Structure 1
Amino acid sequence: MLKTLTVNNFALIDHVQIAFAPGLNILTGETGAGKSILIDALSAILGERASVDSIRRDCDYFRVEAVFDISGSQALAGLLDEQGVTCEEDTLIISRRLTRSGKNTVTVNGCQIPLVVLRQIGELLIDMHGQHENQALLRPQAHLALIDEYADKVEPILADYKSAYQQWQQIHAELADHETRSRERERRIEMLLWQTEEIEQAELRLGEDEQWQQEIRLLANVEKIVHAVSHSYILLKQGERGSAVLSALGEIRRELEAAVRYDESLRPKAEALTECLYQLDDIASDLRQYADGIDSDPGRLQKLEDRMAVIQNLKKKYGSTIAEILVYQQQAVTELEALQQTGHTVEQLAAKGQELEDKLTHLSARLDQERRQAAAELETAVTLQLRDLGMANAVFSVAISFIDKFLSTGRNEVICLFSANRGEDPKPLQKVASGGELSRIALAIKSVSAYKDSVGTVIFDEVDAGIGGKTAQMVAEKIAFVASSKQVLCITHSPAIASMADIHFLAEKVVDSDRTITLVRQLAPPDRMLELARMVAGDNTTQIAVENARQMIETAIKKKEKWTNEV
Structure 2
Amino acid sequence: MLKSLSVSNFALIDHANIEFAAGLNVLTGETGAGKSILIDALSTILGDRASVESIRRNCEYFRVEAVFEVTQHSHLYPLLEEQGIPLEDNGLIINRRLNRNGKNTVVINGCQVPIAVLKQIGDQLVDMHGQHENQSLLRPESHLSILDHFQDDIIKSLNAYKTVYHDWVQVRAELSVLMQQVKDAAQRSEMLRWQVDEISKAALKTGEDEQLDQEIRILANREKIANATLRSYAILAQGIKGAGGIIAEMSEIKRELDGAGRYDPALEEKTSVIRDCLYQLEEVASGLRDYNDKMDFEPNRLNTLQERSNQIATLKRKYGASIDDILASCEQARTELAAVEDFDQRRLQLETRQRELEAVLSQRSAGLDELRRQAAQEMARLVTGHLTQLGMPNAVFIVQVTKQDQYTFHGQNEVRFLFSANKGEDPKPLSKVASGGELSRVALAFKAVGARRDRVGTMIFDEVDAGIGGLTAQMVGEKIALVAVDKQVLCITHSAQIACMADQHIFVEKQEQGEETCTIIKILAEDERVLELSRMTSGDNVTTVSLDNARQILDKAREKKDFLLKQAKA
Output the TM-score relative to the length of structure 1.
0.91
Separation in 2 of the partners of 1:85 and 1:554?
Answer: 49
After superposition, residues 303-314 of structure 1 pair within 5 angstroms as 303-314=304-315
Instruction: Report what 1:148 is aligned to.
Output: 148
Separation in 2 of the partners of 1:71 and 1:338?
Answer: 62
Instruction: Report what 2:438 is aligned to.
Output: 437
Is the contact between residue 24 and residue 503 of structure 2 (CA under 8 Å) also seen in structure 1?
A: yes
Tell me the amino acid that sits aligned with residue 211 of structure 1. Answer: Q
Structure 1 position 81, deviation (Å): 5.4
Is the contact between residue 105 and residue 112 of structure 2 (CA under 8 Å) also seen in structure 1?
A: no
Percent identity for Structure 1 against Structure 2: 54
The 1:528/1:329 distance shift into structure 2, 3 A limit, reads farther
Instruction: Report what 1:43 is aligned to.
Output: 43
Separation in 2 of the partners of 1:391 and 1:101?
Answer: 52
Separation in 2 of the partners of 1:129 and 1:96?
Answer: 22
Deviates more, 1:221-230 or 1:60-69: 60-69
Is the contact between residue 47 and residue 115 of structure 2 (CA under 8 Å) also seen in structure 1?
A: no
Deviates more, 1:233-242 or 1:204-213: 204-213
Separation in 2 of the partners of 1:66 and 1:485?
Answer: 21
Structure 1 position 497, deviation (Å): 1.8
Residue 553 in structure 1 maps to residue 558 in structure 2: no
Secondary structure of the residue that 1:539 maps to in structure 2? coil
Tell me the amino acid that sits aligned with residue 350 of structure 1. Answer: E
Is the contact between residue 85 and residue 108 of structure 1 (CA under 8 Å) also seen in structure 2?
A: no
Separation in 2 of the partners of 1:122 and 1:337?
Answer: 57
The 1:156/1:547 distance shift into structure 2, 3 A limit, reads same
Is the contact between residue 182 and residue 340 of structure 2 (CA under 8 Å) also seen in structure 1?
A: no
Separation in 2 of the partners of 1:141 and 1:543?
Answer: 52
Structure 1 position 343, deviation (Å): 2.9
The 1:178/1:269 distance shift into structure 2, 3 A limit, reads same
Secondary structure of the residue that 2:505 maps to in structure 1? strand
Instruction: Report what 1:248 is aligned to.
Output: 249
Structure 1 position 100, deviation (Å): 4.7
Separation in 2 of the partners of 1:95 and 1:280?
Answer: 109
Long gaps (5+) in structure 2: none
After superposition, residues 295-310 of structure 1 pair within 5 angstroms as 295-310=296-311
Deviates more, 1:272-281 or 1:221-230: 221-230
Deviates more, 1:92-101 or 1:485-494: 92-101
Tell me the amino acid that sits aligned with residue 223 of structure 2. Answer: E
Long gaps (5+) in structure 1: none
Is the contact between residue 7 and residue 64 of structure 1 (CA under 8 Å) also seen in structure 2?
A: yes
Is the contact between residue 85 and residue 111 of structure 1 (CA under 8 Å) also seen in structure 2?
A: no
Deviates more, 1:428-437 or 1:100-109: 100-109
Instruction: Report what 1:422 is aligned to.
Output: 423
Is the contact between residue 399 and residue 417 of structure 1 (CA under 8 Å) also seen in structure 2?
A: yes
The 1:534/1:195 distance shift into structure 2, 3 A limit, reads same
Secondary structure of the residue that 1:341 maps to in structure 2? helix
The 1:256/1:199 distance shift into structure 2, 3 A limit, reads same
Instruction: Report what 2:162 is aligned to.
Output: 162
Separation in 2 of the partners of 1:358 and 1:119?
Answer: 38
Tell me the amino acid that sits aligned with residue 363 of structure 2. Answer: H
Is the contact between residue 482 and residue 565 of structure 2 (CA under 8 Å) also seen in structure 1?
A: no
Separation in 1 of the partners of 2:203 and 2:164?
Answer: 52
Separation in 2 of the partners of 1:337 and 1:234?
Answer: 64
Instruction: Report what 2:284 is aligned to.
Output: 283
Instruction: Report what 1:446 is aligned to.
Output: 447
The 1:75/1:232 distance shift into structure 2, 3 A limit, reads farther
The 1:14/1:182 distance shift into structure 2, 3 A limit, reads farther
Is the contact between residue 26 and residue 505 of structure 1 (CA under 8 Å) also seen in structure 2?
A: yes
Secondary structure of the residue that 2:318 maps to in structure 1? helix
Is the contact between residue 402 and residue 413 of structure 1 (CA under 8 Å) also seen in structure 2?
A: yes
The 1:287/1:6 distance shift into structure 2, 3 A limit, reads farther
Which runs of at least 4 in structure 1 moved beyond 6 Å after TM superposition? none
Instruction: Report what 1:192 is aligned to.
Output: 192
Residue 132 in structure 1 maps to residue 129 in structure 2: no
After superposition, residues 478-557 of structure 1 pair within 5 angstroms as 478-557=479-558
Instruction: Report what 2:211 is aligned to.
Output: 211
Separation in 2 of the partners of 1:281 and 1:422?
Answer: 134
Separation in 1 of the partners of 2:487 and 2:240?
Answer: 129
Separation in 2 of the partners of 1:107 and 1:207?
Answer: 76
Instruction: Report what 1:367 is aligned to.
Output: 368
Residue 346 in structure 1 maps to residue 347 in structure 2: yes
Is the contact between residue 161 and residue 361 of structure 2 (CA under 8 Å) also seen in structure 1?
A: yes
Deviates more, 1:325-334 or 1:261-270: 261-270
Structure 1 position 14, deviation (Å): 3.2
Instruction: Report what 1:88 is aligned to.
Output: 87
Tell me the amino acid that sits aligned with residue 466 of structure 2. Answer: A
The 1:269/1:360 distance shift into structure 2, 3 A limit, reads same
The 1:201/1:11 distance shift into structure 2, 3 A limit, reads farther
Give CA deviations for 1:31-53 in whole Å, capped at 9, x if unaligned.
10111122223333334344443
Give CA deviations for 1:111-134 in whole Å, capped at 9, x if unaligned.
44354x544443333222122212
Separation in 1 of the partners of 2:386 and 2:423?
Answer: 17
Separation in 1 of the partners of 2:305 and 2:262?
Answer: 60
Instruction: Report what 2:202 is aligned to.
Output: 202
Tell me the amino acid that sits aligned with residue 86 of structure 2. Answer: C
